[in-house]
Amino acid sequence: MFSGSAFPTSLPTCTSLIGTAIISESDSLSLVLLLPPFPLPTLLSLPILPKCLFNPNMRIPKKPVSFCFSLFSPDVFPPAFSSRIRLVSRAFTSSDSFHGKRRGICFGGIKLLHSGYPMEESHGTIVSDMKSPRLRNTDCSSGGQEPCIWSSPEGGRKLDVIGKQIFCNRSLNMKNIVAVGFDMDYTLAQYKPETFESLAYEGTIKKLVYDLGYPRELLNWSFDWKYMVRGLVLDKKRGNILKMDRHKYVKVAYHGFKELSKEDKVSIYGSTLTRDAFDEPDYALIDTLFSLAEAYLFAQLVDFRDNNPGKVPDTTDYARMYRDVRAAVDLCHRDGTLKQMVAKDPKRYINEDTSIVPMLKMLRDSGRATFLVTNSLWDYTNIVMNFLCGARTMDGIRKCNFDWLQYFDVVITGSAKPGFFHDDSRANLFEVEPVSGMLLNTDNGSPMPQVGDTSPSFSVKGPNKSCRVFQGGNVGHLHKLLTIESSSQVLYVGDHIYGDILRSKKVLGWRTMLVVPELEQEVELLWKLRDTRKELRLLRNHRDLIEDKIHHLKWSLKFDDINEEEKRKLTSELDVLESEREQVRLSHQQAQRENHHKFHTVWGQLMKTGYQNSRFAHQVERFACLYTSQVSNLSLYSPDKYYRPSEDFMPHEFDIFM
């Protein structure tokens, strides 16, 4: 808990030894230490003081532990140490100590120091660091295991769960935002890949066999939902699957499920006179979680065609197979195969998130308008949003009604994004009658009388009459319905780089937040492997140093004025350095490979390829003002928060400031 230099060799004098107390709070332990006027060596010899508290290599147990240090002098600890402990002055009452809320304690005006941090069992035991972003805020009504809703009495404290943080690429002052909008699928509704993607995969296989004439052997195939990741690029012509860095250099490549060698990658993608853009129509971008099943199926078909000559007609090349997969996926969506199964049992396919409703309430209470823009039609949207926001009946079964509409000002279904974001789109806007699903004509959102009527008669009954539901239209209709004066007043939250974020950012200038569910696990692992990353940098620097020495020696050997003895000495030294360089190179490559596999055994870290940002990370940086692991993380921050990005560093600045 203490670094060697953080704790003073002797302590300032305290008045007297008051005593020690141990207070048990369920699974947590609060230890109050009132230190006497003894120097540190004497303190360590006292039986009442656990020596582990002063061990620089102290290891934190898995269960939550809170240590309270009490000293009469406010100057006991030097700045290096005191910056690691939160100083709290608060009266101590019996109700404070035994009702799940641990606070600083004050006896007779004497300030006590308090710090608490629970550790999750899945992360085992780590060396203590009070500045760690992994540490959780324990002052929560849920017992310290989850962050608190900002608008709750326990909320509004520092968020220390790095996997739930909102990360900022461009400054965004929420006070300037008057409307917050959401996509539904994979944004508000997070689908379970092990069930939903498997369902999509099975439906696509059946369409390929029964509708498009593929061999029945495909029906025996299975789906590994963990294999594919976002940010990959499919080479339709060659049957390859690529992962590249932000400069569009291919770093990882597979033909089907066979990894391509470095030489193959260079000969195919690095030996051309002009750089390939890796865009449509020859390439397909896997930038949404919906695409993972079709990417996996494409890889299976590539292997099947290569290993089974004659079973796939010669006229069916890799590009044709990809088009067939896309056609089969579209058939599944058009005939309702997927959505009917989800509608029957939403809990099987969609993650429950009890923070969504409090988040929406918080935004509306703060004076913001909220809206929903989804490509799904009204019937499916109502089922999914009921599951996410609807109340349960006494027997635990969810009621399907329209209560969830109270959390929105406008709902637009069947939006046909990304075309929706073009103001010049001539798509008609229809109003939806929620009960029947009937579409009614509107004049740019204004109700229109039906033929034979003298005035419009449509109105939504019940408490949701303030929310209007539409289908189609374009962003101009939405701006008018919400009385938006400037596009920069809108924050839109989605999961799809191209469908949600890129167009709304580049075309409209909306502020954007990208939902990246994979991020939570990735940043947790990054934190766990932070020492490994430092070791990799040291190995890389060591390689550079050795190579510089080798280059210097080789240059020295070019001069004619050195004698034979000196030349033999330099040559011998050069041989040693080259041998050392090879050993360090192999060690560095092996360490890189092991680190790569810890994130994903095939594709590695989502946001990186080696030392460069991945193409996906580059897109996130370019088009998303904010990004986070799940939409409800908005509830952990003030609705008026000013999000500020970290400082950018050029390579010439990095070693100086970092």
Statement to judge: residues 245 and 329 lie in one domain: yes
Note the pLDDT tens digit of each residue in 230-288: 999 999 999 999 999 988 889 999 999 999 998 999 989 987 766 777 888 899 999 88
Parallel, antiparallel, or unpaired: how do β-strands 172-173 and 642-643 relate? antiparallel
Statement to judge: residues 228 and 304 lie in one domain: yes
Determine, yes or no, domain membership for 112.
Answer: no
CB neighbourhood size of 163 (10 A): 19
CB neighbourhood size of 648 (10 A): 6
In which domain, by residue range, is 257 found?
193-344
Give the helix/strand (H/E) hosting 324. Answer: helix 318-334
Note the pLDDT tens digit of each residue in 228-238: 999 999 999 99
Give the helix/strand (H/E) hosting 401. Answer: none
CB neighbourhood size of 537 (10 A): 11
Q: What interhelical angle do 198-210 and 318-334 show, nearest 10?
A: 110
Backbone angles phi, psi at 14, to 5 degrees: -105, 160
Parallel, antiparallel, or unpaired: how do β-strands 626-628 and 612-613 relate? unpaired
In 3D space, the residue among 619, 550, 616 whose CA is nearest the CA of residue 169 turns out to be: 619
Determine, yes or no, domain membership for 127.
Answer: no
Determine, yes or no, domain membership for 437.
Answer: yes
Check: CB of residue 557 under 8 Å from CB of residue 613: no
Statement to judge: residues 170 and 302 lie in one domain: no
Q: Which residue has the higher pLDDT, 151 or 166?
A: 166
Statement to judge: residues 417 and 313 lie in one domain: no
Determine, yes or no, domain membership for 427.
Answer: yes
**Dihedral sign, Cα of residue 567, residue 568, residue 574, residue 578:** positive
pLDDT value of position 512: 92
What does the alpha-carbon distance between residue 68 and residue 293 come to, in Å, rounded to a whole number?
A: 51
Statement to judge: residues 285 and 396 lie in one domain: no
Q: How many domains is the chain built from?
A: 2
Determine, yes or no, domain membership for 3.
Answer: no
What does the alpha-carbon distance between residue 61 and residue 50 come to, in Å, rounded to a whole number?
A: 15
pTM attached to this predicted model: 0.72
DSSP code string of 229-242: -TTEEEETTTTEEE
Among residues 289, 315, 344, the one where a domain terminates is 344
Cα 42 from chain centroid (whole Å): 49
Contacts of 135 (CB under 8 A, 6+ apart): 117, 160
CB neighbourhood size of 201 (10 A): 23
Determine, yes or no, domain membership for 440.
Answer: yes
Determine, yes or no, domain membership for 94.
Answer: no
Note the pLDDT tens digit of each residue in 56-79: 444 333 334 434 333 333 343 344
Statement to judge: residues 204 and 322 lie in one domain: yes
Determine, yes or no, domain membership for 526.
Answer: no
What does the alpha-carbon distance between residue 293 and residue 232 come to, in Å, rounded to a whole number?
A: 13
Among residues 320, 344, 368, the one where a domain terminates is 344
Among residues 344, 364, 387, the one where a domain terminates is 344
Statement to judge: residues 419 and 502 lie in one domain: yes
**What CATH number is given to the structural domain containing 492?**
3.40.50.1000
Check: CB of residue 242 under 8 Å from CB of residue 235: yes
Note the pLDDT tens digit of each residue in 556-612: 887 777 788 888 888 888 889 988 899 988 988 888 888 888 899 899 989 988 888
Statement to judge: residues 470 and 500 lie in one domain: yes
DSSP code string of 354-406: TTHHHHHHHHHHTT-EEEEE-SS-HHHHHHHHHHHHPPB-TTSPBP-SSGGGG
Statement to judge: residues 318 and 387 lie in one domain: no
Here the tokens at position 226 are 């963990």
Statement to judge: residues 415 and 266 lie in one domain: no
pLDDT value of position 571: 86
pLDDT value of position 465: 60
Note the pLDDT tens digit of each residue in 105-137: 333 333 333 333 333 333 332 333 333 343 343
Statement to judge: residues 302 and 364 lie in one domain: no
**Dihedral sign, Cα of residue 207, residue 420, residue 278, residue 603:** negative
Statement to judge: residues 496 and 355 lie in one domain: yes
pLDDT value of position 629: 93
The C-alpha torsion from 248 through 253 and 255 to 258, rounded to 10°, is 180
pLDDT for 44 beyond 70: no
CB neighbourhood size of 499 (10 A): 21
